[in-house]
Homo-oligomer: A and B are copies of this chain.
Amino acid sequence: MVHADPAIDGADTADAPESDLAVARAATPRPIEEVAADLGLAPDEIEPRGDGVAKLTQSAVRSATASEPDGTTVLVTGMTPTPKGEGKTVTTVGLGQALAGLGESTAVAVREPSLGPVFGIKGGAAGGGYSQVLPMESINLHFTGDIHALTAAHNLLSAALDNHLHQGNEEGVDVRRVDWPRALDVNDRALRETVVGLGGPARGVPREDEFVITAASELMAVLGLAEDLSDLKTQIGRIVLAEDADGDPVTPDDLGVTGAAAALLRDAFRPNLVQTIEGVPALVHGGPFANIAHGTNTLVADRVGASLADYLVTEAGFGADLGAEKFAHIVAREGIVPDVAVVVATVRGAKRHGLEMWPADFDALAKTDPEAVRAGVDNVTRHVEIVESLGIPAVVGINVFPDDAESELAALESTLTDAGIPVARSTAYRDGGEGAMPLAELVRERAGTGEFAPLYDLDAPLREKVETVAREVYGADGVEYVDGADEDIDRVEAWGYGDLPVCVSKTPYSFSDDASLTGVPEGWTLTVREVSPSAGAGFVVVKTADVMTMPGLPAEPAAEEIDVDADGNLSGLF
């Protein structure tokens, strides 16, 4: 099966001559102990988990994160993407390989793929072509079990809450105000709205419930932002599961099950070490959503990478308006500050904006049209401005697709250059690290030339923080609160969460909250519909629309193509 769409925000490679699986199988991975040695990790500091996969030991994690990381952190972000993505993961992996090729000690950090999309529409997610992470079969199927551990911990909290209701409800939980869903790592729309606890007194208390995909669990965000196991427990303990009759939060600490949930996440908290197809160390760890959460691999993986390597290349979800902004205001405040950022842009992506096209028509986008590309560049430059406004030096990496016309690539490149923006093409999908060498040189040159500066102070009121992001990042004229969002904010501040950063959930397909507004929309107002605390993870989610937290399967799911033979060889996965 020819590779279709390798990653959340991954490279489109419909015309790729070889499948990712074929490329992966032709590779000769290094022993994982040797990869670990590149990071200065001794054999007893990693725990093998099958061929080419290891978890760092708890003591290796502790010693690597004991001090402030002194490596250079490169954040890979992007322009406003099409639904097929612009190739951030491919660029991340390729750039890491290129930096290693330049002789720099380098680690790559990316998210763990979720099983739901693998069996739904995606067919696997670990970069692609000659810039992928190995072993792709393992990474895409269960991997080291981190996401399963999150599912188990999440549903233990759910069961404890419903058990509390059943056993007398001492905390006075209001069954109409349970905020904690159940979680499964599957695409299953029938679980979006359910009723549980039916069947009489032996079967719990009836109430409405929903299931989210595990990647959307607040525990995923908690795992992603905890500094150490103590911090993990602190964060879990303060999650708002529900409200009591007085409208006060009910938490895992109230139910006495914080330690049990943390115990289930003990090993999941340790980063996973694998390698890129060129043998560069890769930390694949965590995978939160990029809208209701912060959308990047774990903080602990970043800290380990930036401590043990001279260069850490890490990726944030969607465009810079979402991923980079959240990285700056949520992740960087925890100690991982980007020294430079790559804004990934594509001919196709620019063309979409130049043609003011929504929804994306990929057949139409395949037609050569350098003028349309040029007309769409303002979207890219705006993302660059956002990154620079955070005090992070930015360069543009043009992820080259096989069918990009030279005239289009030149249009994109020259328009950016004319605007004074450093830009380099990358053919990392086709050529591996070699294809990202010019980008790596640019990254090295620009790294550390800025001074990181968040756009807002944490002690500003929530509305002010939302206003700052809306105006200064998204380019809105202002913010409107509807459907009780104003009352939500009052409640969140009353609960004492007013000093958390905000995590705005909006469409990734426009700077605005309306996916059909392409380019750099002006003269619009951000509409906020709901505000709720992710008190465990440590941010306040600001929703501009209903967010799909449980995907569905398509009419012909990828699962129908996936198979395993008598020898254990997988097929159809990629």
Q: Could you list which residues of chain A lie within 8 angstroms of chain B, going by C-beta atoms?
A: 47-51, 55, 58, 62, 115, 119, 141-142, 145, 148-149, 151-152, 155-156, 158-160, 162-163, 165-168, 182, 184-199, 202-205, 209, 228-230, 233, 256-257, 259-260, 262-264, 266-267, 552-553, 555, 557, 559-560, 562-568, 570, 572-573
Q: Tell me the complex Cα distance, A166–B50, Å.
A: 38
Please state if A149 and B142 are interface contacts (CB–CB under 8 Å).
Answer: yes
10 pairs of A and B residues whose beta carbons are closest in the complex: A259-B563, A190-B204, A193-B199, A148-B148, A260-B559, A162-B190, A159-B188, A193-B198, A163-B553, A260-B562
Evaluate contact between A166 and B148: CB separation under 8 angstroms.
no
On chain B, the residues within 8 Å of A566 by CB distance are 228-230
Tell me the bound Cα distance from A259 to B198 in angstroms. Answer: 34
Cα(A560)–Cα(B187), bound, Å: 32
Also in contact, A562 and B152, with CB within 8 A (given A167-B555, A189-B204): no
State the CA gap A122–B171 with chains docked (Å).
25
| Contact A119–B260 (Cβ < 8 Å) | yes
Question: A148 contacts which of B145, B158, B193 (Cβ < 8 Å)?
Answer: B145
Number of copies: 2
The residue on B at minimum CB distance from A116 is B159
Q: Determine if A188 and B155 form an interchain contact, defined as CB atoms under 8 angstroms apart.
A: yes
13 pairs from A and B in contact (CB 8 Å cutoff):
A50-B55, A152-B185, A155-B186, A160-B553, A189-B204, A193-B203, A194-B197, A229-B566, A229-B568, A260-B560, A262-B564, A263-B570, A263-B573
Q: How many angstroms from the CA of A287 to the CA of B384 in the assembled complex?
A: 55
Given contacts A58-B567, A195-B195, A260-B560, contact A148 B159 (CB under 8 A): no
CA of A60 to CA of B210, assembled, Å: 43
- Does A192 contact B188, Cβ atoms closer than 8 Å? no
In chain B, what residue has the closest Cβ to A205?
A: B190
Given contacts A148-B145, A159-B190, contact A262 B563 (CB under 8 A): yes
4 new A-B contacts, CB < 8 A, other than A158-B186, A159-B186, are: A142-B264, A158-B188, A259-B564, A263-B563
Instruction: Report how far A158 CA is from B211 CA in the complex, Å.
Output: 14
A158 partner residues in chain B, CB cutoff 8 A = 186, 188
> By the criterion CB–CB under 8 Å, are A203 and B190 in contact?
yes
Which of chain B's residues has its CB closest to A159's CB? B188
Contact of A256 among B58, B163, B560 (CB under 8 A): B560
